[in-house]
């Protein structure tokens, strides 16, 4: 089988490519050039550019070296324009709207399994493989493709893949889905890959220092737009407690950096972009049972006509909790937890599970308090 492999230059995607090659498949490696690091440059304390985990020359070199070592073709795709339009601009606008976005979902569904897949098909590739820790299985009875968590729960990345369509899942391959991280590194060592001990990155790839607000400030300045203005920090009862530095500097659940003197700890409980306000409250005010989701994509079945019981996650590190999901229109749903959950945040992805199976997911748009 001829397979296109998305290669970031890290140990996971490199090992995925190597395992497919070892299994006898015809592999073509692709590294996607997504972001020009000369834009929005971040400097360290010595005035030197901060190393990035997105499209750095070192990563491209590492991916190319693995392809050369294993003897398969390798190409670098310039998808910077697509990435900015589909990922970076929505990321910036989401923060400016008082949300906390998660760009990795859009990157997977709209670039790796859309833009890359189209090119791969033009080269005769039957599948697109990545280094995600997830599993896809075809249900022989229904013909439907189903998505499951990776066997390694600590590394499971199914949360980032809920937006994939049936057509995309039909062509997706996740060679690491049945492996643990330790087994992947062991395989990389066995295969003699130069990246076997390469460290991982935990930040959003195009924000190497983790300073999302700083990235947005620099992006807006480069685009000739002004930074978001300061505004009021208010209590849930409407009392003005202080001044914020622009709503993009804050997210639900945040405690540090509020600059407010108060008898008890205060947290951001909501952001009112229309009134340019950051709303704060005590810890218990972060709890809520219900939220609305938009852009809902069902994977396990077509849009349900009856309420669905599931375990629901509201952010990547959230422990899935029992809830009832009701559709409220095309691509929309209302989710109600059995027990209140902390810091449900507009802009984040919500993913619905039944055991290890991903039933679907959506974007959190409104939280009922």
- Are 204 and 103 in contact by the 8 Å Cβ rule? The answer is yes
Q: Is 107 a catalytic residue?
A: yes
Query: Quick one: three-class SS letters along the chain?
Result: CEEEEECCCCHHHHHHHHHHHHCCCEEEEEEEECCCCCCCCCECCCCCECCCCCCCHHHHHHHHHHHHHHCCCEEEEECHHHHHHHHHHHHHHHHHCCCCCCCHHHHHHHHHHHHHHHHHHHCCCCEEECCCCEEEEECCCCCCEEEEECCCCCCCCHHHHCCCCHHHHHHEECCCCCCCHHHHHHHHHHCCCCCCCCCCCCCCCCCCCCCHHHHHHHHHHHCCCCCCCCEEEEECCCCEEEEECCHHHCCCCCCCCCCCCCCCCCEEEEEECCCCEEEEECHHHHEEEEEEEEEEEECCCCCCCCCEEEEEECCCCCCCEEEEEEEEECCEEEEEEEEEEECCCCCCEEEEEECCEEEEEEEEEEEEC
- Are 255 and 269 in contact by the 8 Å Cβ rule? The answer is no
| Active-site pick, 54, 55, 125, 205 | 205
- Are 332 and 296 in contact by the 8 Å Cβ rule? The answer is yes
The residue with tokens 């009701």 is 326
Kindly list the distances between the CA atom of residue 189 and the CA atoms of 34, 195, 355, in Å, as whole numbers in the listed order: 29, 9, 33
| Active-site pick, 54, 55, 107, 125 | 107
How far apart are alpha carbons 346 and 233 in whole angstroms? 19
Q: Is 205 a catalytic residue?
A: yes
Query: Which residues are annotated as catalytic?
Result: 107, 205
């Amino acid at each position: 089988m001829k397979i296109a492999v998305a290669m970031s230059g890290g140990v996971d995607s490199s090992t995925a490519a190597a395992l497919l090659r070892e299994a006898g498949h015809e592999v073509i490696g692709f590294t996607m050039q997504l972001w020009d690091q000369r834009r929005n440059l971040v400097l360290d304390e010595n005035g030197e550019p901060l190393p990035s985990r997105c499209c750095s020359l070192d990563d491209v070199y590492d991916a190319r070296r693995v392809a050369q070592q294993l003897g398969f073709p390798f190409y670098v795709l310039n998808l910077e324009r697509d990435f900015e339009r589909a990922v970076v601009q929505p990321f910036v606008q989401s923060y400016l709207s008082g949300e906390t976005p998660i760009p990795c979902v859009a990157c997977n569904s709209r670039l790796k399994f859309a833009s890359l897949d189209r090119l791969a098909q033009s080269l005769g590739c039957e599948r697109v493989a990545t280094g995600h820790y997830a599993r896809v299985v075809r249900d022989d009875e229904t013909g439907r493709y189903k998505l499951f968590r990776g066997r390694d729960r600590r590394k499971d990345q199914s949360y980032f893949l809920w937006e994939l369509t049936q057509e995309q899942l039909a062509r997706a391959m996740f060679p690491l889905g049945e492996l643990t991280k330790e087994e992947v590194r062991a395989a990389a060592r066995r295969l003699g890959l130069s990246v076997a001990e390469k460290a991982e990155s935990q930040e959003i790839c195009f924000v190497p220092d983790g300073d999302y607000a700083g990235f947005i400030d620099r992006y807006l300045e480069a685009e000739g737009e002004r930074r978001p203005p300061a505004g009021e920090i208010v209590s849930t009862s409407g009392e003005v407690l202080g001044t914020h530095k622009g709503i993009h500097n804050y997210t639900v659940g945040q405690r540090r950096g509020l600059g407010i003197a108060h008898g008890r700890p205060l947290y951001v409980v909501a952001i009112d972009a229309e009134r340019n306000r950051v709303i704060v409250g005590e810890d218990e005010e972060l709890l809520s049972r219900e939220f609305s989701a938009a852009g809902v994509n069902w994977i396990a079945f077509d849009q349900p006509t009856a309420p669905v019981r599931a375990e629901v996650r509201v952010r990547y590190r959230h422990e899935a909790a029992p809830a009832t999901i009701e559709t409220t229109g095309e691509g929309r749903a209302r989710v109600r937890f059995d027990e209140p959950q902390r810091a449900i945040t507009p802009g984040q992805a919500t993913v619905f599970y039944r055991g290890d199976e991903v039933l679907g997911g959506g974007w959190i748009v409104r939280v009922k308090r």
